[in-house]
Amino acid sequence: MNIKVGLVGLPNVGKSTLFNALTKSSVPAENYPFCTIEPHLAITHVPDQRMLKLQEIYNSKKLIPSMISFVDIAGLVKGAAAGQGLGSQFLSNIREANLILHVVRCFEDKSIIREQDNIDPLDDFDVIINELMLKDLETIEKRISKIDSLVKGKNASGAERKTLEEERSLLVNIQKAIDTCDIKQVRQLFLTTNIETIPLLSTKNFLIVANISENDIDNPQNNPHVQKLQEIFGKECVIPACVRTEYELSQLDENQATEMMEMLGLKETALTTIIQKSFENLDMITFFTCGPQEIHAWPIKKGITIRQASGEIHSDLQRGFICAEVFGFKDIAEFKSIPKLKEVGKFRTEGQDYIMQDGDIINVRFNV
């Protein structure tokens, strides 16, 4: 499953440096606006310690972790919805992302060029959201005009008219919320309805990376900007990270990185948290296929059936699905072998309607 996370933010907030750290790549990260013009795409793995344990149990030759794509999207300025700066390109790129990762600057540094006068990460966030809402407003107006034409048409049945009128009513209410810049109301209206309508940029899932200075690494909660962001959006949504340090760590080998982390008092990198939270935010879970050749992690949406999940491995498995042998990671980690799992009743056979659980290990029986 292709998971794409778009990094967005105003110019010179640390997006490209964070992208380089996340993906261990080297795109330009210069001190001037619009350094990133074309979006850069790179794929990185999702850290999962369970795979090492499974490799130990199965004595597997290799590991194939879940993957996630990060896109470094051009910096945004006010007026993007009207085509200012690289706005049109930015909005096109962000439309393709599953999750938005807002990068905001939470430290003073006069050597880094900034379009705005003062450091205000909340205002930076609002600039981006407002531009997304303005673009959504344009999209909504076009859709309402299309609905009006369809309703007036002679071929629309009574049921179709009712569906179109319900959609129109929803869009008008969202339109009113956008007019008052009420993003919470926009998201509530869009995300809580059962009415099918057009996708909107401002309603995409998001996380916020609060880019802090080296001086705040020990206790990021003391940073007033971080405090404000977490107060408004919640601690789960805001990830403090010293992007410069994370980049430096990403360029070291494992031993050097461990030494530097110990020196800084870090138990894990902020990058690990960012990747894992991006994965979790999209309601993704992981199942595994295991054997002596490889341990393979498969990312899937929470709530899908085992037959649907088998299609991630190969379409033939879903098409010819008969049943699947299933057990959980915690059980194999405890009992260490398939015979023991069978002995204690933890090894089972499931039919096509079984709902997958995080950490399931499966072996699909099929016939095509």
pLDDT band at 342 (very low <50, low <70, confident <90, very high): very high
Higher pLDDT, 339 or 159: 339
pTM of the model: 0.81
Q: What is the mean pLDDT of residues 94-100?
A: 87
Residue 169: Cβ-neighbour burial (10 angstroms; 0-12, 13-18, 19+): exposed
Report helix angle 254-264 to 243-250, nearest 10: 150
Tell me the sheet residues that pair with 362: 326
Whether the CB-CB separation of 56 and 288 falls below 8 Å is answered with: no
Whether the per-residue pLDDT at 132 is higher than 90: the answer is: no
Residues in the chain: 368
Q: Is 226 helix (H, G, I), strand (E, B) or coil?
A: helix
Whether the per-residue pLDDT at 20 is higher than 80: the answer is: yes
Can you tell me which residue has the tokens 């379409």?
Answer: 315
Report helix angle 270-281 to 243-250, nearest 10: 100
Residue 95: Cβ-neighbour burial (10 angstroms; 0-12, 13-18, 19+): middle
Whether the per-residue pLDDT at 33 is higher than 50: the answer is: no
Q: Is 169 helix (H, G, I), strand (E, B) or coil?
A: helix
Q: What is the mean pLDDT of residues 1-12?
A: 84
Q: How far apart are CA 230 and CA 234, in angstroms?
A: 4
pLDDT of residue 147: 93
Kindly calculate the radius of gyration of the chain based on its CA atoms and give it in whole angstroms.
Answer: 24
| CB count in 10 Å sphere of residue 61 | 11
Token code pair at residue 14: 């640390």
pLDDT digits (tens, 9 = 90+) for 250-302: 899 889 999 999 998 888 888 889 988 998 899 999 999 999 999 999 999 99
Q: How far apart are CA 354 and CA 8, in angstroms?
A: 38
Residue 8: Cβ-neighbour burial (10 angstroms; 0-12, 13-18, 19+): buried
Q: Which amino acid is at 264?
A: L
Domains of the chain: 303-366 (3.10.20.30)
Q: What percent of the chain has pLDDT over 70?
A: 88
Question: Could you tell me how far CA 123 lies from the centroid of its own chain?
Answer: 22
Q: How far apart are CA 71 and CA 97, in angstroms?
A: 8
The closest alpha carbon to 294, from 66, 67, 65, 64, belongs to 64
Residues 6+ apart with CB under 8 A from 87: 76, 77, 79, 80, 81, 131
Token code pair at residue 325: 């042998």
Q: How far apart are CA 278 and CA 274, in angstroms?
A: 6
Whether the CB-CB separation of 297 and 286 falls below 8 Å is answered with: yes
Whether the CB-CB separation of 78 and 84 falls below 8 Å is answered with: yes
pLDDT of residue 26: 40
pLDDT band at 75 (very low <50, low <70, confident <90, very high): low
